[in-house]
Structures are given as C-alpha cells and as structure tokens.
Amino acid sequence: MSSRTLKLYDSLSRTVKPLVTLEPGVLKFYTCGPTVYSYAHIGNFRSFLTADLIVRTAKAIGLDVIWVTNITDVGHLTEDDVADAQGEDKMAKALRSKEGEHFNNVWELAEFYEDAYKEDWQKLNLSEPSIRPKATQHVREQILAAQTLIDKGFAYETPTGVYFKVEAFPDYGKLSGNTQEKLRRGVREVVQDDNKQDQSDFAVWKKDDKHLMQWFSPYGWGFPGWHIECSVMARAYLGDTIDLHSGGEDNMFPHHECEIAQSEALTGKTFCNHWVHTRFLQVNGEKMAKSAGNFYTVRMLLERGLSPLAIRYALIAGQYGKPYNFTDQTLSDAELNVERYKRATIAAKEALEREATGEDSAFASELNLLYQEALDAMCEDLNTPVALAKGLAGARAITRQGDSMSKIDGENALTFLEKLNGLLGIVHSDYEDESEAKVEEPTVSADEAAEIEGLIEKRKEAKKSKDFATADSIRKDLSERGITLVDNPDGTVSWSRA
Ligand code: AMP
Ligand code: ZN
C-alpha cells in the first residue's frame, strides 16, 4: 500500500481531513444515486463523478473500495428541500407528464430511466460500483427500521404516517446547522401537520393507499420516506458505521441530516465518519436543475456531436468543492484536450512497432514524476485542475518525443497514459473502444433495414391496440436475429444489431 493519504473536505467537521478507514485498507463508501423519474442531467453526473474520482484515487493509493450507489425509485417527493418533504412522488408526477404517456405504469418508467442512467454512466466512463441497490428492493428493511425507531422511542405513528421525533435526537442539525431550535424559529420551511408532535418532525413512512407504488406495513398501505431508504441501504451493504458518504450540496439538508438522525438512533453508533458534498454545477450562475429548465442531459450534448470523454473532462475540470459554471468554452477546451490524449496514444503505439533500442531515462522520469504529481493533487481534496494539467503536460511530452521514441519509450508512455486513465478516466474508455469496434461490424442491407422498420411499425400498432402478445413476439423474433430494440419515451423505437 502507498504511504499517501487521501484528504477530503468533510462537511461535518468543516475541515479538510485525511480519509481514515475503519477496517485498514478497505474503504466503505455510499453515494446518493439518482431518482429515476427522468434522464439524469450533467449536474447530477458532476456529483457522481466526484464519487468516481474518490474511488479511482483511493484505488490508486492502494485501498480496496466497496462502493454502494443506490437508485431511488420511490418516495422522493417534489418539494424535497423542505425539512419534512412534501408534494407528490416524483415518479408518479413523471407518469402523468407528457413523457409518461409512453409507459404502461410507473415500474416501466423507472426501469426505462434506470437503464438510461446506467448507459450515460458507462459513456462518461465512471467506474462500476460494487452494488447499485434500488429503494423498492429494500422496503421490508425500511418497515423494520420504522418499527425499531418506534420501539426505541425515536418515532411515532400518526394518522398520516410514521414520523421521526427530532427532539429525541439532540444531535439533529450537526451536519447542516439546521437544529430543531432553528427549525422551530422558521429557518427552513416545515410541513404543517397537526398530527405531528413537533412541526420539525419528518416522515419515515407515509400512509397512502392511493399511491402508485405501495406496500403493506403494520401502519397499513403506504410507501417509505426518501431518507430512510439511504439509511437502510447503506447499513445493509456497508454495516452500521461507514467511512464515507457523498452527494450533491442540496443533499446535506434535509436528506443527509435525516439519514444521520435515523441511522444513529437505530444503531446507537456513528453513522458515517466523513461527508463529501459536491457544489452545484451552474449555468449562467444558476443551479442546473430539471425544475429550472436550464439543464443538459448527456444525450443532449452527445447529439451536439461532443464526445463522451470530452463531456467527462469538462465536468471534472473544476474542483468539486467550488461552484462550477459550465460553458461552451469549457466543452470545446475539453474536446481539444481529449484529442491531445488521442494523439499521444497514437504516437506511443507507433513507437511499439520500432526496435527495442535504448530507453530515454529522462523522458521516463519526467512521465513518472508527472503521474506522481497528478496523484498528489488528487490526494489534496481532489484538485482536478492541477491533476489534469499534469496529465496534459505528460501527453504533450509524449507527442513532442514523437518519432524519436524507441519501443521502450513507447511502453513507458503507454504505462503513463494507462495509469493516468486509471486515475482520471479521460484518456480512453471501454465504451469508446466498443463503439469503435461496432463500426467494423457488417452493416444491415437496405432491404433488411426496411423489413425491420416494417416489423417495428407492426409492433407499434400491436402495442397501441394492446395486443401485447404480438408486440412481444415481434421483439422476440427480432432478438433471435440479433436485432435489439430500444423504446424511447417519445414513442420512437431505435434498433441495433447486437
Ligand atoms: P436526484 O436525482 O435529484 O436525487 O439527484 C442525484 C444527485 O445529483 C444528488 O446527489 C444531488 O445532490 C445531485 N445534484 C442535483 N443537481 C445538481 C447540480 N446542479 N450540480 C451538482 N449535483 C447536483
Ligand atoms: Zn440518499
């Protein structure tokens, strides 16, 4: 294991401090994932990228990482910045929207956007988490958690749900500063509900026998609160105390504050030792958000012809702890820099064809030093601007050597690029390698394409008249011929040969 430590700003102690793992050499890390009611936007991805960079840096300094990042598919309400969330379930609202018309039910909608999120994740070259649990797969544990909280005197049942009793947990507010006393003074909006013992209490379980996704519990039909999902999933996979938890800055309150209260009330132990929050990605100085309508999805940017690696590059070009304004200039700079890595990779690969004559040791040490400096920068609270500058200096040095590189120099150059890719993920991706490979596959003839389009049309008609047996059999026949169909929310169907 390397002697380096990874230092990260901890929102709880409000200091930059070394990341210490409870079990030596193993990092237990939880990241709040997306709510799958729509495409994740690049602001969401900036937060996920922070987590990805932590994982990459931790691995580079020799840690094993168990990384859990969840999928929220129930319980996240539209007004989620209120101390006790209110409004409609985001999933249900999405089903009633224009896009929602293309889905038969909320489960289909969730599955569609979950798949889209995973696809975007892969395109942006994020590392695969150890597990991606879904809130709906853990409802039993959430009901058990609600019951344990009641039994321990931390929660109570009302005609509308089960509520966490903030007064019973004096540490409430330690992360965000929003203590119960401040909430009582109206520092943040709370849901007025006379059934609650105190207006600052928040829902662990909501009673609702009309909800589109509902489960039976000791309190009747209903659904879990958003915060209890993450408390339960983190514990299920990582244990009572985790090393690190991340999310976007808006997650700090109420989501993470409530997670701490519930988890610590449940176990009597510290829930998490280190909290990392990504500052917002902004457009023209404002938070990028679906509700503000000023957002880009990964797909929108790809349609403009940008490469996935350039989007990734642009999103990590600003350090995660500072608000980051996203502009067209950032994107075009990123595209240029990704090209620089491509040129360096080509030059290094060409050198492999040459003879194994002497090694340029000064060149080898320069690359080694640049990688070490990039890693040092990442260990200093993920200083991506410096790490990226070091990487680029290496790419330039390789291109500058050009034809004068021997085979051994070429190998050294490729090792540098590979290690840098492991750390920052901007040199190449499996996704891009796969897309390039696909281009070489035999193309479908015009006649066959027309026939496939005809079958897709027939399937669409069958679906419209609710003849799902015919629709499914067309999909199955095409699948046996190696044709995969992708249903888009706007009703169009795209296809590809597997
Ligand atoms: P959601 O799908 O709303 O649950 O959000 C998923 C993650 O993205 C959460 O950790 C949010 O805090 C984060 N997030 C949302 N908007 C932004 C933004 N503009 N910049 C950075 N992170 C964001
Ligand atoms: Zn969460």
For the segment 161-181, the average pLDDT, to the nearest whole number, is 97
Strands 155-157 and 161-164: antiparallel
What's the whole-number average pLDDT of the chain? 92
Per-residue pLDDT tens for 428-485?
A: 998 887 776 654 444 667 778 888 888 988 988 888 888 888 888 888 888 888 787 8
Task: Give me ligand 1 centre to Cα 233, in Å.
Answer: 19
Ligand 1 pocket member 489 (CB < 6 A):
no
Q: Ligand 1 centre from 491 Cα, in Å?
A: 27
Confidence of residue 245 (pLDDT cuts 50, 70, 90): very high
Three-point CA angle 30, 34, 39, nearest 5°: 155
Q: To the nearest 10°, the Cα dihedral for 396, 399, 400, 403?
A: 170
Q: Which residue has the tokens 């281009």?
A: 439
Are 412 and 420 a contacting pair, CB within 8 Å?
A: no
Write down the pLDDT at residue 415.
98
What average pLDDT does the segment 88-105 reach?
Answer: 90
Q: What is the pLDDT of residue 275?
A: 98
Cβ-contact 288, 281 below 8 angstroms: yes
**Rounded distance between C-alpha atoms, residue 122 and residue 127, angstroms:** 8
Among residues 39, 8, 490, the alpha carbon closest in space to that of 288 is found at 39
- For residue 285, the model assigns a pLDDT of 80
316 Cα distance to chain centroid: 14
**pLDDT tens, position by position, 17-61:** 999 999 999 999 999 999 999 999 999 999 999 999 999 999 999
Would you say the CB of residue 73 lies under 6 angstroms from ligand 1?
A: no
| Contact call for residues 429 and 308 (beta carbons, < 8 A) | yes
Cβ of 31 closer than 6 Å to ligand 1, yes or no, is no
CA 33 to the chain's CA centroid: 5
Nearest listed ligand to the Cα of residue 252: 1
End-to-end CA distance of the chain: 41
- Ligand 1 pocket member 250 (CB < 6 A): yes
**What pLDDT, on the 0 to 100 scale, is given for residue 489?**
66
Whether 248 is in the pocket of ligand 1, judged by its Cβ within 6 Å, is: yes
With a cut of 60, say whether residue 162 has pLDDT above it: yes
Residue 498 pLDDT greater than 60, yes or no: no
Q: Does residue 160 contact residue 193 with C-beta atoms inside 8 Å?
A: yes
pLDDT(244) > 90: yes
Give the position of tokens 């027309």: 450
List, in order, residues 6 or more apart from 82 with CB less than 8 Å away. Answer: 188, 189, 190, 191, 254
Give residue 443's pLDDT. 60
Measured from the Cβ of residue 269, the count of other Cβ atoms closer than 10 Å reads 10
Q: What is the mean pLDDT of residues 187-205?
A: 91
Q: What separation in Å is there between the alpha carbon of 69 and the centre of ligand 2?
A: 9
SS3 content of the chain, % helix, strand, coil (to 5): 50, 15, 35
CA 196 – CA 158 distance, rounded (Å): 7
DSSP at 285: T
Decide if domain 7-278 falls under CATH 3.20.20.80.
no
Give the pLDDT of residue 355.
79
Indicate the pLDDT class of residue 230, thresholds 50, 70 and 90. Answer: very high
Nearest CA to 228 among 127, 143, 161? Answer: 143
Query: For a substitution probing ligand 1, which of 11, 47, 76 has the most ligand atoms within 8 Å of its CB?
Result: 47
Strand ranges for 314-400 from DSSP E: 324-325
Q: Which atom of ligand 1 is nearest to the CA of 36?
A: 2
**Percent of the chain scored above 70 by pLDDT?**
97
φ and ψ at residue 45, rounded to 5 degrees: -65, -30
Tell how far CA 143 is from the center of its chain: 26
Extract the runs of DSSP E, i.e. beta strands, from 189-296. 202-207, 215-217, 220-224, 244-248, 275-278, 281-283, 286-287
Measured CA to CA, the distance from residue 11 to residue 253 in angstroms comes to: 12
Comparing 68-72, 286-290, 372-376, 427-431, which segment has the lowest mean pLDDT?
A: 286-290
Q: Identify the pLDDT of residue 133.
A: 98
**pLDDT value of residue 287:** 85
pLDDT at residue number 441: 47
Closest CA to 88 of 167, 471, 80, 40: 80
CA distances from 395 to 61, 212, 360, 413, 420 (A): 22, 53, 16, 9, 10
Helix crossing, 308-316 with 42-60: angle to 10°? 80
Q: Are 51 and 29 in contact (CB under 8 A)?
A: yes
Distance separating alpha carbons of residues 42 and 298, to the nearest angstrom: 6
Q: For 70-92, write each residue's pLDDT tens digit.
A: 999 998 988 888 888 788 899 98
Decide if pLDDT at 140 tops 80: yes
Exposed e or buried b for every residue in 79-112, given b needs 16+ CB within 10 A? ebebbbbbeebbbbebbeeebbebbeebeebbeb
Is 1:39 a contact under the CB 8 Å cutoff? Answer: no
For residue 287, which atom of ligand 1 is closest to its CA? 19
What percent of the chain shows pLDDT beyond 90?
Answer: 74
Atom index in ligand 1 nearest the CA of residue 281 equals 20
Q: From CA 49, how far away is CA 40, in angstroms rounded?
A: 13
34 lines ligand 1 (CB under 6 A): yes
Whose atoms come closest to the Cα of 226: which ligand?
2
